[in-house]
Amino acid sequence: MNLPLHAQIINLCAALLLLLAFAMLTQRRIRSLINLFSAQGLVLVISTLTVAYATHQTHLYYSALLTLVLKVMLLPWIMHRLIRKLNVRWDVESVLNIPATLLIGIVLVIFAFNLAAPISQFSDTIAKSTLGIATACIFLAFLMMITRRKAISQVIGFLAMENGLFFAATSATYGMPMVVELGIALDVLVGTLIFGVFFFHIREKFESLDIHHLEKLKER
């Protein structure tokens, strides 16, 4: 049975999101990690526009525009400025090596598909088959957060996890109400700016962005 064109595009976007999640998990260069996050946002825009066109959900066009401005242009620009000012180029320190991280990532993907399978049966959306991939992207982003030592890469992992949540919402329910999406977008933007200030304070105090230095802070 041949799938409609819009369903094929959505499935392709889901596959690209999963590949980008694995690429972010193994990437050690901060600048490339930010570019991968921007590419993930662009894939989200295409997927959201496709769902909006296929289902005539007008609010999804605004969601796609918000994603384009915030996650493809504004946040990557802010983070690129941060790493230039902080003189950050590489993120070579991680808790696990790449093969071990990939192995755990594969296990998480399998777990995500099994977790999402019964939930997908209750959804009647055209993108319900991609719910497992959306869940896997969330898990992989969380894995990146807990296996990196640099604060910037952990923040990118947090933002990538929000991408997975947004894709899951689009897959399961055709997105969230616009007021909720605007609130989340504002929270993400403000959070990124606060993290930027936090980075400068860490760098000024410890001359490094490695979070293990925070263990030196003790109450007096």
Task: Enumerate the H helices of the chain as residue ranges.
Answer: 5-26, 30-55, 58-67, 75-86, 98-120, 131-147, 151-173, 178-206
Structure tokens at 78: 């802010």
> Considering only 76-80, 92-96, 156-160, 176-180, which range has the smallest mean pLDDT?
176-180
> Considering only 10-19, 58-67, 91-100, 135-144, which range has the smallest mean pLDDT?
91-100
Q: How confident is the model at residue 179 (pLDDT cuts 50, 70, 90)?
A: very low
Q: How confident is the model at residue 184 (pLDDT cuts 50, 70, 90)?
A: low
Q: How confident is the model at residue 182 (pLDDT cuts 50, 70, 90)?
A: low
Which pLDDT score is estimated for 43? 94
Which pLDDT score is estimated for 42? 94
Q: What's the Rg (C-alpha) of the chain?
A: 18
Q: Summarize the confidence of residues 206-214 as an average pLDDT.
A: 50
Structure tokens at 56: 């005539």
